Amino acid sequence: MEDGGRSTQWRFAAPNPTLAAAGERSIQKALLQVHACLDERGPRPVIPLSHGDPSSAPSFRTAPEAEEALVAAVRSGEYNGYPTPATGLPARRAVAEYLSRDLPYMISHDDIFLTCGGSQAIETVMSVFGQAGVNILLPMPGYPKHEAHAVFHRMEVRHYNLLPERGWEVDLEAVEALADGNTVAIVITNPNNPCGSVYTYEHLAKVSIAFVQSLVTFFLILFVVIEVICLLPC
Ligand SMILES: Cc1ncc(COP(=O)(O)O)c(C=O)c1O
């Protein structure tokens, strides 16, 4: 670019083909094609089955208590700056209490990390695991951001299938076959996107056991990342 006689050279990184391919895994193109064929003014109502955000439906209104708490927090003027560890403490305690309600033990607020949505959580977790030479197990079908961030953080992605005939449960044999000495984590999405399934406690336990057993021979420290998309009541 010419800038008053001086030329500016942009130093953007060269596109990463693996990352681009991971980002391509989306039904977006097919959806656009379907939408292009629709006449929304026609007599038949259009049901947006690909729309995952429930907030546009009247039955999914935020609870008035949550709205009022938010307004009160803004009006208090106490939270208009950068948060300190102490600012987040009441929220982390509340989440720990809520998640412990059906457990025989209490989850500590020290083990609760609040992020700006699921995307930041995925990014953070993948950056912790990411290094050259390791691999991570992801569900197929799955949520595209897992793969994009895994690839971005130099991990090899290995897919295990979800089985439609078993309510989209995890293919346990595939997990055992795929994991090896360089596997650092398995991602389980529950409730599942895009399949909509919710796993039983027993199934989650079986997945963990299959994963752990397949790695026992390698004496590895391993992680099971269960991405739980929670809508917490206030
Ligand atoms: C499995 C999964 N993880 C993460 C996200 C992203 O969450 P957020 O929009 O809170 O960043 C979504 C959103 O649909 C999701 O389905």
Give the whole-angstrom CA distance, residue 141 versus residue 21: 15
Q: Which of 143, 199, 227, 231 to mutate to test the pocket of ligand 1 (most atoms within 8 A of CB)?
A: 143
pLDDT band, residue 5 (cuts 50/70/90)? low
CA of 3 to the centre of ligand 1 (A): 42
Cis peptide bond upstream of 141, omega within 30: yes
Residue 94 belongs to a domain? yes
Same domain, 105 and 137: no
Same domain, 142 and 107: no
Q: Which residue's CA is the nearest one to ligand 1's atom 14?
A: 52
The token pair at 148 is 């994009």
Mean pLDDT for the stretch of residues 44-69: 82
Mean pLDDT, the chain, whole residue set: 83
Q: Which residues contact 84 (CB under 8 A, 6 or more apart)?
A: none
Same domain, 219 and 140: yes
pLDDT at 222 over 60: no
Same domain, 156 and 212: yes
- Looking up tokens 């895009």 gives 194
Same domain, 205 and 138: yes
Q: β-strands 169-170, 156-163: how paired?
A: antiparallel
Residue 176 belongs to a domain? yes
Q: Which residue's CA is the nearest one to ligand 1's atom 16?
A: 193
Number of domains in the chain: 2
What is the domain range of residue 95? 72-114
Pocket of ligand 1 (CB under 6 A): 52, 117-119, 122, 143, 189, 193, 227, 229
Same domain, 218 and 152: yes
CA of 118 to the centre of ligand 1 (A): 5
Q: Which residue's CA is the nearest one to ligand 1's atom 4?
A: 118
Q: Say what the pLDDT of residue 3 is.
A: 59
Same domain, 88 and 158: no
Q: Say what the pLDDT of residue 216 is.
A: 52
Same domain, 100 and 167: no
CA of 211 to the centre of ligand 1 (A): 24
Q: Say what the pLDDT of residue 219 is.
A: 39
Same domain, 104 and 173: no
> DSSP alpha helices (H): ranges in the chain?
17-24, 28-37, 64-76, 85-99, 117-129, 144-152, 172-178, 201-216
- Distance, CA of 212 to chain centre: 22
CA of 192 to the centre of ligand 1 (A): 10
φ, ψ of residue 224 in degrees (nearest 5): -110, 115
Q: Is 146 exposed, middle or buried (0-12, 13-18, 19+ CB in 10 A)?
A: buried
Q: Could you read off the pLDDT of 182-206 as tens digits, one per residue?
A: 998 899 988 888 888 899 989 988 9
Residue 160, strand partner residues:
139
pLDDT band, residue 214 (cuts 50/70/90)? confident
Residue 121 belongs to a domain? no
Residue 76 belongs to a domain? yes
CA of 92 to the centre of ligand 1 (A): 20
The token pair at 215 is 């790695």
End-to-end CA distance of the chain: 52
CA of 217 to the centre of ligand 1 (A): 34
- CATH number, domain of 232, equals 3.40.640.10
Residue 123 belongs to a domain? no
Same domain, 104 and 177: no
Q: Which residue's CA is the nearest one to ligand 1's atom 5?
A: 118
Same domain, 160 and 78: no
Domain boundary among 114, 142, 171: 114
Residue 97 belongs to a domain? yes
DSSP H/E element including 129: helix 117-129
